[in-house]
Amino acid sequence: MAEAAVESLESSKKKEGIGEFIASTREELERTSFPSSEDVRNTVIIVIVSVVFFALYLFVIDKAWVYLLDGLTWVVSKLAGF
């Protein structure tokens, strides 16, 4: 097992030519699968819905904190007599 790793490491140290690089790139590209337009559309819809949901969620949380801190400031100012 260690011998195979050493051989693999030694073979990866060799530089390949431009032709070999292009051939291996084309071979890899043929094995690549690309998503269909329906998959892309569904993914885009999911992303847009998620962004809108989290934007609304953070807006509500921000407004709640502002309301809470304004109330706390009002109470403190009434107790301290400012």
Q: What is the pLDDT of residue 9?
A: 55
| CA atoms within a 13 Å half-sphere pointing along the CA-CB vector of 18 | 0
* Residues whose CB falls within 8 Å of the CB of residue 24, separated by 6 or more in sequence, listed in order: 16
Identify the band that residue 6 occupies on the pLDDT scale cut at 50, 70 and 90: low
> For 8-46, how does the pLDDT look when each residue is reduced to its tens digit (9 = 90+)?
656 656 677 888 899 999 999 999 999 999 999 999 999
What whole-number distance in Å separates Cα of residue 71 and Cα of residue 52?
Answer: 29
Distances (CA, A) of 80 to 5, 75, 76: 74, 9, 6
